Amino acid sequence: MTEKWTHPTVRRGTIWWTMQSIAVGGLIVALVFLAFWKPSTETTIAAAAALILGPLLIFMAIKQIKALRHEYRYSDENL
Residue 7's Cβ-count burial label (10 Å; 0-12, 13-18, 19+) is middle
Say yes or no to pLDDT of 78 above 60. no
**pLDDT tens, 23-54?**
988 988 888 898 889 888 988 898 888 889 88
pTM check: above 0.75:
no
- Residue 9's identity, in one-letter code, is T
